[in-house]
Chain A
Amino acid sequence: MTTAEFSLAGIVLLPLLASAVAVLLGSRVRAVLGILTALLICGLCTAVLIQTAAGGITELALGGYEAPLGIRLRADGLSALFLCLSAVVGTVVSAHAAILPASAGHPGFWPLWLGCWSGLNAVFVSGDLFNTYVGLELVGLTAVALVALGGRDSWMPALRYLFVAVLGSLLFLVGVGLILAAAGTLDMEQAAQQLAETPEAHAAAVFALCLMSVGLVLKLALMPMHRWLIPAHAGAPGAVSPLLSALVIKAALFVILRLWLWVMPLDATTEAETGLAEGLSTALTALAWTLGGFGALAVILGSVMALRQDRLKPLVAYSTVAQVGYWFLFLPLLLDPEAGALEGQPGTTLAEDAVLSGALSGSVALALGHGVAKAGLFLAAGLLKELWGTDEIESLRGAGRRHPLLILSMGLCAVGLIGLPISLGFTGKWHLATSAVAAEHWWIIAVLVLGTLLSAGYLLRGIAPLLLQDAKDPQDQEHDAAQDADASAESPRRQRLAEVPAFVLGLLTVLTGFLAVGIDALMGVGAPW
């Protein structure tokens, strides 16, 4: 077993073990355990990352059983990227929760979060759909419980989330069953091969893809199915919302990417010329366009809704709904046979396969950038709510005077979410836009432009009033004093320190903007083309 293989197992099992141990410990020791686990996960992640960056796919058959019966863990470029996201965001948010226990809501945070982390990593390194399903469920179950930590106002949202999560899982599960029946295996690689070779299984596979996509999209809160997300993410405790928005929904996204690009033999289903295949290809194209259309809808309507919020956390939650839309815009490109028409033509600078791989890297970069930036923004918003007792933008006027670092962090995160340079948000939009131009899908450009401007609008609306200085208004100062008295539960030094994690995420939002080339190279490891 090499270091990378050992790390692959450790990354899943370690947090699970820690989660179990944490239940037995007192609440203070839990935080210490949590931080230790986080650091170890970072180390393990680095090992996997190094192996992947060197161009190798790490594989491990647990217990020595090979597929189809055994469980195979597998990390390619996509896995490595999402693993790193969860390691970085998870560690920073854990640090925040350790510094300011109030932000975790309840000591139950630690076992639940560590369990959730294990589930996330399991999804990211899973080589078969069974394992993916179990990981997704672990994530869903713990996420619901984490939302419920927010106190009585969050119980109802948590229940709503639970119903949605279960419905989504069951749809996914039936899809998994269909794939198993069609391909005879749940191992993703083998299933892809089987499906590509047996045209008669395509109908079942396409139907499975429909079911699974709908199920996952429910968990991901794509536009018409987004209602549950707002109260759940806005009502969760300060340290939980960032995890939900940055990581939990990414698990579903990751599975969608895997299914569409790695498992489905899209070329085989769209290129066959029999009558049935034609029907299937139409169905697939329709599905892709529906999801892409929902994505566009989400970007625009989600942003408009965000513009209309008067409270900070719901605003940030709606921004998540809007950003989710971006990750679906590239699907119609996948099935457009004309998409790569310009590749290699004289007069352009496109390389072979540049359009699709660009669109995919762009979407992944957007998702990763969103993870870091949204975690930072939610942390900051949660902390403000913690300190001021409210997240109404109107009552937070002038908060910037007392928390300049926090506002700066929010500004940096906003750069990433709007998609301004230098950030992964910019890189992602650049990629997506270049691919869209090359494939002559102009609607994507329109959505990107509208989304960018609207997001600047709602983020400014949320952040700018914090810069207002009403120092001359004595009433407000009294108000400030009252808020101060409220917040004195934690020592001022701790409060200052608690601003640091959000700032770290803000800085990372900008610094990761320089990693675009590396991310693209990683995406090439184990790419579907």
Chain B
Amino acid sequence: MEVFAGEGAALWYLLLGSLVAVAGTVRLLLARDLLARLVAMNVVGIGSLLVLLSLGARAESAAPDPVLSALVITGLVITVAFTGLGAVLIRRIEGIHDAEHAPDQAADGDQISSGQNSSEQDSSSTEGGRDS
């Protein structure tokens, strides 16, 4: 299976990554359910990172480009951070829905909000590590 090794493999991964990314984008734009959109967003992320990796493999040198790997890893971390923030937001928004049915739970809001902030801070300092 010559095609699945070396240059050829990279090309396949490139195509696969693009397909995944496009599919995810379509779903992200069309889905109504918030959670589905969040998942679709992650799918786009994985597709794009796949494209990046295949680009690295296409490079002529034997070893994959370290800078590209770093790029992919950073991209992963950031996508995770965004996913976390998105999940918190979705939980809150769904919380309003629930609260409309059971008004007593409305008081939860503040508690969640402080939790959200500390997790938020964690993620930003993770990126900061790359900066310094």
Contact = CB atoms under 8 A, between A and B. Distances in A.
Q: Do chains A and B directly touch (beta carbons under 8 Å) in the complex? A: yes
B71 A176 contact: yes
The 9 closest A-B pairs by CB, nearest first: A108-B117, A177-B52, A170-B48, A181-B55, A115-B124, A159-B89, A137-B78, A23-B121, A16-B128
A134 interface: yes
Contact of A169 (B37, B52, B78): B78
Interface string B42-79: 00110010011001101100000111101100110011
B127 interface: yes
A43 interface: no
Contact of B121 (A20, A134, A167, A169): A20
A138 B130 CA distance: 11
B82 A166 contact: yes
Contact of B75 (A148, A155, A173): A173
Contacts of A148: 89, 92, 116
B85 A162 contact: yes
Interface range, A side = 35 or more
A118 B96 CA distance: 33
A167 B44 contact: yes
B122 to A, nearest CB: 9
A246 interface: no
Contacts of B79: 166, 170
A190 B43 CA distance: 33
A159 B66 CA distance: 33
Interface centre among B37, B52, B114 (most CB of A within 10 A): B52
Given A173-B71, A180-B67, A180-B71, A163 B37 contact: yes
A108 B113 contact: yes
Contact of B132 (A13, A167, A176, A186): A13
Given A142-B124, A159-B93, A177-B55, A122 B113 contact: no
Nearest to B72: A177
Given A141-B82, A166-B79, A170-B48, A159 B34 contact: yes
Contact of B74 (A12, A118, A134, A181): A134
Contacts, number: 143
The prevalent SS among residues of A at the interface is helix
Interface string B77-114: 01101100110011011001000000000000100011
A171 B25 CA distance: 11
Interface residues of B, number: 50
B93 A69 contact: no
B45 A166 contact: yes
Interface in A146-200: 148, 152, 155-156, 158-159, 162-163, 165-167, 169-171, 173-174, 176-178, 180-181, 186
Interface centre among B51, B66, B85 (most CB of A within 10 A): B85
A134 B67 contact: no
A140 B81 CA distance: 11
A224 B20 CA distance: 25
Interface centre among A12, A19, A115 (most CB of B within 10 A): A115
Contact of B89 (A68, A162, A170): A162
B78 A181 contact: no
B124 A141 contact: yes
A138 B127 contact: yes
Contacts of A162: 82, 85-86, 89
A111 interface: yes
Contacts of B34: 159
B90 A159 contact: yes
A130 B70 contact: yes
A186 B55 CA distance: 14
B128 A118 contact: yes
6 contacts: A20-B121, A20-B128, A108-B114, A138-B127, A162-B89, A174-B51
Nearest to B40: A163
Contacts of B67: 68-69, 130, 180, 186
B25 A167 contact: yes
A133 interface: yes
B127 A152 contact: no
